Amino acid sequence: MKLAEALADRADASRRVEQLRSRIVANARYQEGEQPTEDAAELLTRATEACAELESLISRINRTNSATPLGEGTVTDALARRDALRLRHSVVSAAADAASGRGQPGMRQMRSELKMLAALPVADLRAEADRLAQQIRELDTAIQRTNWEVDLLD
């Protein structure tokens, strides 16, 4: 099984656990004289099995990511880099939005009203956000390519 397939299975198992959780909660109590629409105990057993499957997949995915080279490090290093780039992009974009006055009233009605000035260089911030977005796309592509090339470890 390729790493990408295991990632898809992990997402499916996570969704399945969440759906089972919702169904368990909905059927954990019922009114006297009525029957629940589903057997909560059986659902709980299925959820436990799905959690065990999810744990196994996560463990194997993590082991594979830390053993698979990508660039100058491993896939795990690349994932950490991508997360940091996304966070930095978010901060830089928010700073550019705030400095440009996006979402804030900025029109003066009278000359006597205070004028709002940008404390940060908006154009430079937008350019930096674009560079970060490009780096994220390139790294994401490399990660995806590796995911389809690498076999999942046991």
User: Mean pLDDT of residues grouped by 10 in the chain (154 residues)?
Assistant: 97 98 95 93 97 98 98 97 98 96 68 81 97 98 98 95
Q: How far apart are CA 120 and CA 98, in angstroms?
A: 9
Q: How far apart are CA 132 and CA 95, in angstroms?
A: 14
Residues 6+ apart with CB under 8 A from 146: 3, 68, 70, 75, 78
| Res 107: pLDDT | 59
| Res 105: pLDDT | 63
